[in-house]
Amino acid sequence: MTDSELIVSIVAGNRSAFRELYDKYKSRVYNTAISYLQSVADAEEVTQDVFVEIFHSAAKFKGQSSVGTWVYRITVNKCLDYLRYRNRKKRMGFLASLFGESNELKVDAPHFEHPGVLLENKEKSTYLFQAIDKLPEQQKSAFILSQIEELPQKEVAEVMQLSQKAVESLIQRAKGNLRKELEKFYLERRK
């Protein structure tokens, strides 16, 4: 079945079509979520959210973009929502700790190791992820989709609903900011 046929079948309530779509896109959704959230557990949580959303909003899919682009768009939005929620929770935890409540302050693991990175690159990739974490949302999305997910810029533009030029500029700015952040890490390492 083509992607569009799968969507039509899902709308008709066909569970095996939903399974087929899941098998086709699970890896892309999960890996994108890992890059954003830098936590395997959170990435699994968001992957669930994405597929539940796909199931419920399949009827609203108008076919104006490809199914892949639509799936990536849902993934990016869910990841950004989850990051905002996590940051809010972190701030609340910090405030609670100031007032002496027992809620412990949960901070993300400082050195995230992506499970798919080659062994020889593990250490360097932890610095990259720490730097990515500091990027503003749009630069983060442009960088993750184009440099880690390796989507063509045209598709990144469709996912982010921006022009290709805007995406190009976001990627350049992201790389510039990452270099600045990495410079700090480099100097810290030398101390």
Within 60-99, which residues bind other proteins (CB under 8 A)? none
What are the Cα distances from residue 67, in Å, to 34, 64, 74, 96, 158? Answer: 21, 9, 11, 43, 12
Is 39 near other proteins (CB under 8 A)? no
Kindly give, in sequence order, each residue whose CB lies less than 8 Å from that of residue 83, ignoring residues fewer than 6 positions away.
36, 37, 137
Among 1, 24, 39, 44, binds other proteins (CB under 8 A): 44
Is 59 near other proteins (CB under 8 A)? no
Phi, psi of 150 (to 5 degrees): 55, 40
Is 125 near other proteins (CB under 8 A)? yes
CA 21/CA 50 separation, integer angstroms: 12
Is 153 near other proteins (CB under 8 A)? no
Shorter beta-carbon distance to other proteins: residue 40 or 166: 40
Among 39, 65, 77, 147, binds other proteins (CB under 8 A): 147
User: Looking at 41-49, 65-73, 151-159, 163-171, which segment touches other proteins (CB under 8 A)?
Assistant: 41-49
Is 22 near other proteins (CB under 8 A)? yes
Residues binding other proteins: what is the number (CB under 8 A)? Answer: 37
CA 126/CA 133 separation, integer angstroms: 11
CA 162/CA 41 separation, integer angstroms: 30
Shorter beta-carbon distance to other proteins: residue 91 or 111: 111
